[in-house]
Amino acid sequence: MKRRDFVKVGALGSAALITNSCSNISSSNNEQPILLTKSKEIKVISTWVSGIDANKEAFQILKSNGSSINAIEKGLNITESDPENTSVGLGGMPDANGLVTLDASIMDHNYNCGSVTYLQNIEHPISVARKVMEETPHVMLSGKGAYEFALEQGFKHKNLLTDSSLQKWQEWKDKKTLNLPVINHENHDTIAMIAQDENGNLAAGCTTSGWAYKKHGRVGDSPIIGAGIFVDPEIGAACATGLGEAIIKICGSHTIVEQMRNGLTPEEACKVAIERIKKSSHSLENLQVGFIAMNVAGEVGSYSMYSGFDFALHDENRAELIKSNYEFEWE
d(CA 210, CA 114): 18
Q: Catalytic: 265?
A: no
Q: Which of 190, 207, 208, 241 is catalytic?
A: 190
Beta carbons of 89 and 102 less than 8 angstroms apart: yes
CA–centroid distance for 141 within its chain: 16
* C-alpha distances in Å from residue 283, one per residue of 31, 191, 275, 290, 331: 33, 25, 13, 17, 15
Contact between 114 and 140 (Cβ < 8 Å)? yes
Q: 124: burial class by Cβ within 10 Å (0-12, 13-18, 19+)?
A: buried
Q: How far is it, in rounded angstroms, from Cα 208 to Cα 312?
A: 17
Q: What's the distance, Cα to Cα, between the start and end of the chain in Å? A: 54
* Spatial separation of the C-alpha atoms in residues 132 and 276, rounded to whole Å: 32
Residues in the chain: 331
**Catalytic residue annotation:** 190
